[in-house]
């Protein structure tokens, strides 16, 4: 009986040690602020990392310090780009369904974001802003974060949507 318990513990230990290195392969994507002039956002993805040509959910939260969110006008914007931040596809936009005053926290869920065919290394930008009538600046950004996925040597950032 002692041999059976010892063998079982040894087997369990071996499985645990064997599986440990694989847990390090999947790391959650972290986003960084696009600019010090804009507010930052917290973004959680599902699945994380994104799977090319599938549907992604973005759970976005934050607090805008200078701008109000206006129901039906303020947009959540998501864009995929190549590693040089050139757009891969059209951006995703979703209007907020409630107004929120500056200084108050907000949350918004975009559960049906279509992921384009992604290269090995790609950028993701997530922003909040209001559309404008100015063709040279179609979105007045309030908050923005971005990251580059698949290239560990590149500093994460996404300065444009």
For residue 77, count other CB atoms closer than 10 A to its CB: 19
Q: What is this structure's pTM?
A: 0.76
CB distance 75 to 95 below 8 Å: yes
Task: Show Cβ contacts of residue 151 under 8 Å, excluding neighbours closer than 6 positions.
Answer: 83, 121
**48 or 23: which carries more pLDDT confidence?**
48
CA 100 centroid distance within chain: 22
pLDDT in tens, 36-78: 899 999 999 998 888 889 999 999 999 999 999 999 999 999 9
Query: What would the two tokens of residue 21 be?
Result: 């290195």
Q: Tell me which DSSP letter residue 98 carries.
A: S
Residue 9, classed as helix, strand or coil, is helix
Does the structure show a pLDDT above 70 at 26?
Answer: no
Beta bridge partners of 93: 77
Q: How many Å apart are CA 35 and CA 21, to the nearest integer?
A: 35
Arithmetic mean of pLDDT, 17-45: 74
Could you name the CATH architecture of 27-149? Sandwich (2.60)
Domain ranges of the chain: 27-149
pLDDT in tens, 114-159: 999 999 889 999 999 999 999 888 999 999 999 998 865 344 444 4
């Amino acid at each position: 009986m002692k041999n059976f318990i010892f063998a079982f513990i040894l087997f369990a230990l071996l499985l645990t040690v064997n599986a440990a290195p694989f847990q390090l392969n999947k790391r959650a994507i972290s986003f960084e602020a696009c600019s010090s002039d804009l507010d930052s956002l917290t973004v959680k993805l599902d699945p994380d990392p994104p799977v090319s040509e599938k549907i992604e959910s973005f759970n976005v939260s934050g607090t805008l310090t200078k701008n109000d969110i206006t129901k039906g006008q303020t947009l959540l914007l998501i864009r995929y780009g190549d590693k040089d931040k050139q757009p891969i596809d059209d951006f995703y936009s979703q209007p907020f369904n409630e107004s929120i005053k500056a200084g108050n926290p907000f949350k918004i869920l975009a559960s049906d974001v279509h992921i384009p065919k992604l290269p090995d290394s790609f950028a993701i930008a997530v922003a909040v802003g209001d559309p404008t009538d100015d063709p040279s600046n179609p979105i007045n950004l309030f908050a923005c974060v971005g990251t580059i996925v698949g290239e560990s040597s590149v500093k994460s950032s996404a300065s444009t949507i």
